[in-house]
Structure 1
Amino acid sequence: METPAHDDLPTPAQQALDALAVNAEDQAALDTLAHSDVLVPVPDDALDGDGAEPTTVALPVLEQSDGDQVVPVFTSEGTMADLLPFVSRYRLIPLGALASQWPADDLSLAIDGSSEHGLTLTSQGVRTLLAR
């Protein structure tokens, strides 16, 4: 009998996303999410090393069909590979730290994008709910 693949088990962040799908005010789930590390895709054309500041991260921004701009982050490598198969590199960043420095403009955050766990927050929602 084969043991199930590790990626089949939902991460704590994915469990929190599922809880928030049922109750958007679930404080325990928001806390779990804020303290979870997320994978932030690094475009292959991003500069390496020399000039990069280790405490800053370039946010990948995707423009949606309605013109809204969204930053995709992911709770697991498997989810990122499913939704963005062309991305091979990422940085692991605590979501709360990312949220605390979130830009003030109308930039949304998509956690696990269009997956079954997906959650998209407005710029205000990111700063209000996740900046811990």
Structure 2
Amino acid sequence: METPANDNSVSPAQRALDTLAENTEDTAALDTLAGSDVLVPVPDDANDQDAADPGMLALPVLEQQGGRQVVPVFTSELEMADLLPYVSRYRMVPLGALAAQWPADDLSLSIDAGSEHRLTLTSDGVRTLLARP
């Protein structure tokens, strides 16, 4: 399904995901994505003070089949509600800044996990492709 170029309801980050679904090495799309803000769901067990602390960010970790752990982030409230309708709190975070501080373990990142053009990156991929100074 192609999105019309003049569709204002599609964010630049979503257009970048569409481009990357066709060409995973498109550097302009990777740069756009890295420069975008994403919604990071606040885990249910995070208290209000921690959820509001700009110096701390609790990552929601989901376990997938085979024990692989992934952090879901989203380009819009609609994308988040499609996959995680029960989430009531989230934080807006620059994806490049999040990637620059990504843990060095086997934690993957999934952007818009419920959409047909989702992008999931390994820990190394997050730091290599999306981290920006």
TM-score normalised to structure 2 length: 0.89
Aligned to 2:69: 69
Query: CA 1:50–1:101 in 2, change beyond 3 Å: closer, same or farther?
Result: closer
SS state at 2:65 partner:
coil
Moved over 6 A (4+): none
Length-normalised TM-score, structure 1: 0.90
SS of corresponding position for 2:92? strand
Q: Distance in 2 between matches of 1:46 and 1:107?
A: 19
Letter in 1 for 2:120: T
Cα gap change, 1:124/1:76 in structure 2, threshold over 3 Å: closer, same or farther?
same
Task: Name the CA distance, whole Å, in 2 between partners of 1:89 and 1:126.
Answer: 24
Write out per-residue CA displacement over residues 57-116 of structure 1, whole angstroms, 9 at most, x where no aligned residue.
Answer: 000000001210000000000000010001011000000000000000000000000312
Equivalent position amino acid for 1:93 in 2: V
Counterpart of 2:129?
129
User: How many angstroms does 1:117 deviate by?
Assistant: 2.4
**One-letter amino acid of the structure 1 residue matched with residue 56 of structure 2:** T
Post-superposition offset of 1:9: 2.0
Gaps in structure 2 of 5+ consecutive residues: 1-6
For 1:102 and 1:52, locate their aligned partners in 2 and report how far apart those are by CA, in whole Å: 20
- Equivalences for residues 51-62 of structure 1 within 5 A: 53-62=53-62
Q: In the aligned structure 2, how far is the partner of 1:50 from the partner of 1:116?
A: 33
- Decide whether the 8 Å contact of 2:69 with 2:107 is kept in 1: yes
SS of residue matched to 1:38: strand
Task: Within 5 Å, give how 1:24-35 maps onto structure 2.
Answer: 24-35=24-35
